[in-house]
Amino acid sequence: MNNNKYFVLSLLISLFSFISCNSDSDTNGGGFDYDVTTVLTDWVNEAIVPEITSAKTTTDHLVSAFETFETDQTLENFTALKEAYFNAYLSFQIIEKYNFDTAENISFSGFLNSYPVNSTQIDTYIASGTFSAETLESSVLQKDKQGFPALDYLFNGLGTTETENFEALTTQHIDYISAVINRISSLTTEVSNSWDEEAKAAFISNTSSSLSGSMNIVFDRYVTNFERKIREAKVSIPAGVRSVETQPSKIESLYGSELSKDLLQEAFEGFESFYLGANDSMSFSDLLQGIGRSDIDLKMKEYIATIFEKISAIDPDLKLQVETDALKLVEIHDAMQSLVGVLKTDIKSSLSLSIITQDNDGD
Q: What is the pLDDT of residues 110-142, one digit of tens each?
A: 999 999 999 999 999 999 887 877 888 878 889
Cα-Cα end-to-end distance for the chain: 33
- Asked whether residue 164 is domain-assigned, the answer is yes
Cβ neighbours of 47 (radius 10 Å): 23
- Asked whether residue 201 is domain-assigned, the answer is no
- Among 66-75, 123-132, 142-151, 260-269, where is mean pLDDT lowest? 123-132
The answer to whether residues 189 and 231 belong to one domain is no
Q: Is 107 helix (H, G, I), strand (E, B) or coil?
A: coil
The answer to whether residues 262 and 117 belong to one domain is no
The pLDDT assigned to 9 comes to: 53
Q: What share of the chain has pLDDT > 70, as a percent?
A: 89
The predicted model gives 14-26 an average pLDDT of 41
The pLDDT assigned to 21 comes to: 39
The predicted model gives 246-265 an average pLDDT of 98
pTM of structure? 0.91
Give the residue, 13 or 198, on which the prediction is more confident. Answer: 198
Distance CA 188, CA 30 (A): 36
Domain membership of residue 111 as a residue range? 44-196
Is a pLDDT exceeding 60 seen at residue 25?
no
The answer to whether residues 155 and 288 belong to one domain is no
The answer to whether residues 174 and 73 belong to one domain is yes
Cβ neighbours of 141 (radius 10 Å): 9
* Residues 326, 239 contacting (CB under 8 angstroms): yes
Rg (CA), the chain: 22
Question: Element (H or E) spanning 168, and its range?
Answer: helix 162-168
- Asked whether residue 10 is domain-assigned, the answer is yes
Q: What is the pLDDT of residues 26-43, one digit of tens each?
A: 555 444 457 899 999 999
The answer to whether residues 83 and 125 belong to one domain is yes
Is a pLDDT exceeding 60 seen at residue 11?
no
The answer to whether residues 164 and 235 belong to one domain is no
* Residues 268, 225 contacting (CB under 8 angstroms): no
Q: What is the pLDDT of residues 293-320, one digit of tens each?
A: 999 999 999 999 999 999 999 999 999 9
The answer to whether residues 177 and 276 belong to one domain is no
The answer to whether residues 319 and 189 belong to one domain is no
- Under 8 Å CB-to-CB from 144, ≥6 apart: which residues? 114, 115, 116, 117, 118, 121
Question: How many independent structural domains does the chain possess?
Answer: 2
The answer to whether residues 8 and 52 belong to one domain is no
